[in-house]
Amino acid sequence: MKVTKTLGQFIIEKQADFPYAKGELSRLLRDIGIAAKIVNREVNKAGLVDILGEAGTTNVQGEYQKKLDIYANEQFISALQSGGECCIVVSEENDEYIYIDSEISKDAKYIVAIDPLDGSSNIDVNVGVGTIFSIYRRKSVEGKATLEDVLQRGTEQVAAGYVIYGSSTMLVYTTGKGVNGFTLDPSIGEFCLSHPEMRVPKDGMIYSINEGYYAHFPDGVKKYIKYCQVEDDATNRPYTSRYTGSMVADLHRNMIKGGIFIYPITASAPKGKLRLVYECNPMAFIIEQAGGKASNGYQRILELEVTNLHQRSAIFIGSENMVNKAEEMMACFSPQVMKK
C-alpha cells in the first residue's frame, strides 16, 4: 500500500519554504488540524447524539445557532488557546474578537479568523458542512494585539484553509505557495496528502447561485445566469446548476471540477451575505493560489478594505474565465456606482 504523507509531515517539510520560520505557523496549522479531527468526530455521529438542532441562541448575525455550531466554535477556540501560537481569534459565532491572554500565548504573533461550521443549516439534513480559517501575522510589535491587527486586507494573509465534512473529511490549505488537500484516514486518525498541488480548471460547466433570489439580483447577475443557460455547443453551454447551501461544499466541488460560485447583493443582503474576514478572504486566497479568481463583481476580494470584523461582501469566485465573463456582464449591465 502506497504510504502517503500525513498533514504533520507535510507541514514540517514545507516549513523550509519560510527561511525565518521557527515552527510557530507549523504548530498553529497542526493545532487547527487536531481541532478539525475532534469536530469531525461529532459531525459524523451528529444524528446519534443530542447535538443536532437549535441551541436556542443566536449569533452576531442574528442566525439561530445549532448545537454543533457552538461545539465546533468551542473546539477551535480551545485548540488555539492551548496551542500558544495565536494571540487573537475572530469567529463568526462571537460578536467581539477573543484576545488570548495567557502565559503561553504572550509572544504569540498570529491572528486566526474562523467560521467554525459553515453551512450549518445543512447539519440536520446530512448535507456537507465545513470550517473556514484565515491566518494573519499581527502588525503591532509590542503590547496587546488590537483590532487594528485584525482588520487587515486579504492580501496580508499568511495562510488560509477549509475543512469539508462530506463523503470524506478533507482539509485543504495554502500558505501562499500553492494549495494542497488532505483526506482524513479514520483508521489511523491522520489527514493524509490526497490532492497535491490543487489547480482550478480555467473553465468549468457548473454555476452555483441561489436562483430563488433571482428577482432581486442585479441585472448583470441576471444576464450572466441567462448566459449560463443558453445552448451553445462551442462553449459547452448550457452549464449545470449546483447549489448546496454550503459555500465550502460548493467551492470545493468547483475547485475540483471547475465552476463559479456567486453570492451577489440581494434585497435581503444589500452588501452581500458572506463575511469578508472569515469566509470570502480565506476562500479567495485559496482559489487564487490554485489559479482561480475571486471578486465582488468589480474588485479583487483580497484587496477590499476591511473595516469591520463581520463585514459582508458579494462574491464571484471560481474558474478564472467564468469569473471574467460574469464581471463582464456586471460591468455592462450593473456598472459599479462609485461611493461619493
Beta carbon of residue 20, minimum distance to ligand P6P (angstroms, whole number): 36
Beta carbon of residue 242, minimum distance to ligand P6P (angstroms, whole number): 12
Beta carbon of residue 247, minimum distance to ligand P6P (angstroms, whole number): 3
Residue 247 lies near ligand P6P (rule: CB under 6 A): yes
Residue with Cβ nearer ligand P6P (158 or 280): 280
The sign of the dihedral angle between the CA atoms of 141, 146, 148, 151 is: positive
Residue with Cβ nearer ligand P6P (79 or 247): 247
Annotated binding-site residue? 321: no
Residue 254 lies near ligand P6P (rule: CB under 6 A): no
Residue with Cβ nearer ligand P6P (26 or 208): 208
Residue with Cβ nearer ligand P6P (152 or 208): 208
Helix, coil or strand: residue 300: strand
Helix, coil or strand: residue 63: coil
Question: 106-141 burial, b if ≥16 CB within 10 A, otherwise e?
Answer: eebbbbbbbbbbbbbebbeeeebbbbbbbbbebeee
C-alpha cell belonging to residue 306: 476591511
Residue 246 lies near ligand P6P (rule: CB under 6 A): yes
Annotated binding-site residue? 121: yes
Residue with Cβ nearer ligand P6P (11 or 283): 283
Among 103, 49, 87, smallest CA distance to 71 is for: 49
Residue with Cβ nearer ligand P6P (246 or 281): 246
Query: Parallel, antiparallel, or unpaired for β 206-208 and 240-241?
Result: parallel
Residue 91 lies near ligand P6P (rule: CB under 6 A): no
Q: Residue 4 to residues 22, 40, 53, 107, 237: CA-CA distances in angstroms?
A: 25, 21, 37, 34, 39
Beta carbon of residue 138, minimum distance to ligand P6P (angstroms, whole number): 27
Helix, coil or strand: residue 288: helix
**Which one among 8, 178, 238, 245 touches ligand P6P, defined by CB under 6 A?**
245
C-alpha cell belonging to residue 90: 475572530
Residue with Cβ nearer ligand P6P (163 or 247): 247
Which x/- pattern over 98-127 shows residues binding ligand P6P (rule: CB under 6 A)? --------------------xx-x------
Which x/- pattern over 178-217 shows residues binding ligand P6P (rule: CB under 6 A)? --------------------------------x-------
Residue 192 belongs to what H/E stretch?
A: strand 190-195
309 touches 97 (CB < 8 A): yes
The number of residues that bind ligand P6P (CB under 6 A) is 9
Which of the residues 152 through 181 are near ligand P6P (CB under 6 A)?
Answer: none
Residue 61 lies near ligand P6P (rule: CB under 6 A): no
Annotated binding-site residue? 279: yes
Annotated binding-site residue? 197: no
Q: How far apart are CA 313 and CA 280, in angstroms?
A: 7
Among 118, 127, 126, 128, smallest CA distance to 69 is for: 118
Neighbours of 281 (CB within 10 A): 29
Instruction: Note if the bond before 238 is cis, omega within 30 degrees.
Output: yes
Could you list the residues that contact ligand P6P (CB under 6 A)? Answer: 118-119, 121, 210, 245-247, 273-274
Which residues belong to the annotated binding site? 92, 115, 117-121, 210, 243, 273, 279
Which residues belong to the annotated binding site for substrate? 118-121, 210, 243, 273
Which residues belong to the annotated binding site for Mg(2+)? 92, 115, 117-118, 279
